[in-house]
Structure 1
């Protein structure tokens, strides 16, 4: 059973936070366009293993506050949201685990709030640090000028696409592995660009539907009410993320875990290569025949890897 939420004050806003279990704190941070609900298959097993599992709808999502200022969605501020939840709950340290966009505040908790971090883990999203340009410019070079991050920059454009038919958006998006990495790399340039239309099935690069009708309704009902602006604002703060990250120490010498999906074409092949230089304690695993929505597509495999790592932390 998915635990109910309560409103928790943090960093000048309130987040809807779901909790289960007792013991060392594990903070699960969801990505875009998802909710705390995306961790429904992990909460019980982690709690049963002797941990206090804390799962917020992050800033801009679900029943949490969604400030209008897009620049308040910078990763540094998202880390402050997470540590503020720990403050409100009287917790000194937590194990931070993220998926997709949620992996960025998870990883960067070790940069901006290292004293609050017991360990850090990510599903799908590698740990990367500011380079000579922000992520928008990097993806422009890597993918092309019409990649989805660029499209999402202009207020209203991503909203119009995703909100046109909310149920159809999630039915097209939250699917299992479709294109393999080899097939994606052999696709035409306009496909490899990963246009925003991919989020509504144009082109359809994903595979079979992952969600039951009841699970799909949780997403559709929530986003009909909230819209997508809060989540899209995470993309609109990308340049600020780059500015705020410059000059920091990026080596995180704490237990770390990276779980990748072999056919997650949102990231280029080899995206996790060299992470050991920044994460000297990292363990890396790749789940074969899996796509981007990893903890919903392959919950048993994800849980086995997470629990093995978490139990070693005990």
Structure 2
């Protein structure tokens, strides 16, 4: 069953095709003509989560490439859990640059797409002209892997990333994929204030009395269709490789991101509060940070405040001469 594209994207000549990269195939959405901009989605998202940005960039004369990332939609989903470490995810992006004959590319990510974008710029700086991140900052490699650090910081409290290490997490999300997606994308969840208990993520989410306008029904219908093939297990495997990624990147320890960078986050986003709580300074981690702003929005800032986010993306592209 085919679903109508959300956000009026039907009018933008979206082209979907599978592209070989890093030993797998990714399903990629393309639109427009002109300089290329690669948009990397996060969890639990799909290529169409970038709908407001795709329309804006095409109207501005850019060609947009928005892949369904490894494990998502109609992209390949390897069975091996270790196939989802962030070194491999970054290699997927480099393979896309090769497929589009881009010696140096511009990549912008949201949520987990941020983490992939940051890692790509960190591991392959010679291939990146500019990198942008929406929501999740670049934490650097750290003295230990992310999961171990979170376990130490959270103590006995519940934290979803720790919960996602268990098979029960993807099994619960798979029971009703549409409801799971709507809960995560539209519900309220105090990520940093959860006490220990038997409840999983879905039981801890409070649904709003009214669905927010920035998550229209046609989008929720479309994104639900993108999870029918693989479900949630492959995409939660991204969370199950923090230690492996940390081990594989030992040779980059101490290195900062040196390419031109942009970081935007929402004032109501838990990642912003978490970054403040640990005193994170993006300028220490990105030596050429051109834009670093907190805007009045939550986690889904590209959909919540599209005009402002689009304006900042355009500003960044102008700053790097793209």
TM-score by length of 1: 0.89
Q: Which moved more, 1:111-120 or 1:6-15?
A: 111-120
Structure 1 residues 125 and 159: alpha-carbon distance in aligned structure 2, compared to 1, 3 A threshold: same
CA offset at residue 195 of structure 1?
Answer: 9.3
For residues 281 and 206 of structure 1, what CA distance do their matches in structure 2 show? 40
SS in 2 for 1:127: coil
CA offset at residue 143 of structure 1?
Answer: 2.4
2:258 is matched with which residue? Answer: 253
| Alignment map for 1:279-298 (pairs within 5 Å) | 279-282=286-289, 283-288=291-296, 290-298=297-305
2:204 is matched with which residue? Answer: 202
2:6 is matched with which residue? Answer: none
Structure 1 residues 184 and 229: alpha-carbon distance in aligned structure 2, compared to 1, 3 A threshold: closer
- Does the 8 Å contact 2:125/2:259 carry over to 1? no
Q: Does 1:118 align with 2:129?
A: yes
SS in 1 for 2:228: helix
| Alignment map for 1:146-161 (pairs within 5 Å) | 146-154=158-166, 156-161=167-172
CA offset at residue 269 of structure 1?
Answer: 4.5
1:274 is matched with which residue? Answer: 281
SS in 1 for 2:224: helix
Q: Does 1:263 align with 2:275?
A: no
CA offset at residue 107 of structure 1?
Answer: 0.6
SS in 2 for 1:15: strand
SS in 1 for 2:219: helix
SS in 1 for 2:144: coil
- Does the 8 Å contact 2:46/2:226 carry over to 1? no
Structure 1 residues 46 and 164: alpha-carbon distance in aligned structure 2, compared to 1, 3 A threshold: same
Q: Does 1:9 align with 2:17?
A: no
For residues 78 and 245 of structure 1, what CA distance do their matches in structure 2 show? 13
CA offset at residue 222 of structure 1?
Answer: 2.1
Within the candidate set 302, 316, 319, 1:312 is matched to: 319
For residues 91 and 249 of structure 2, what CA distance do their matches in structure 1 show? 14
Within the candidate set 232, 239, 249, 1:235 is matched to: 239
Q: Does 1:85 align with 2:96?
A: yes
CA offset at residue 201 of structure 1?
Answer: 5.3
For residues 58 and 166 of structure 1, what CA distance do their matches in structure 2 show? 18
SS in 2 for 1:225: coil
Structure 1 segments of 4+ aligned residues over 4 angstroms from their partners: 193-196, 205-208
Q: Number of aligned pairs?
A: 303
1:100 is matched with which residue? Answer: 111
For residues 129 and 62 of structure 2, what CA distance do their matches in structure 1 show? 13
Q: Does 1:299 align with 2:306?
A: yes
- Does the 8 Å contact 1:169/1:201 carry over to 2? no
Structure 1 residues 286 and 298: alpha-carbon distance in aligned structure 2, compared to 1, 3 A threshold: same
CA offset at residue 196 of structure 1?
Answer: 7.7
TM-score by length of 2: 0.87
CA-atom RMSD, angstroms?
A: 2.3
CA offset at residue 24 of structure 1?
Answer: 2.6
CA offset at residue 184 of structure 1?
Answer: 7.3
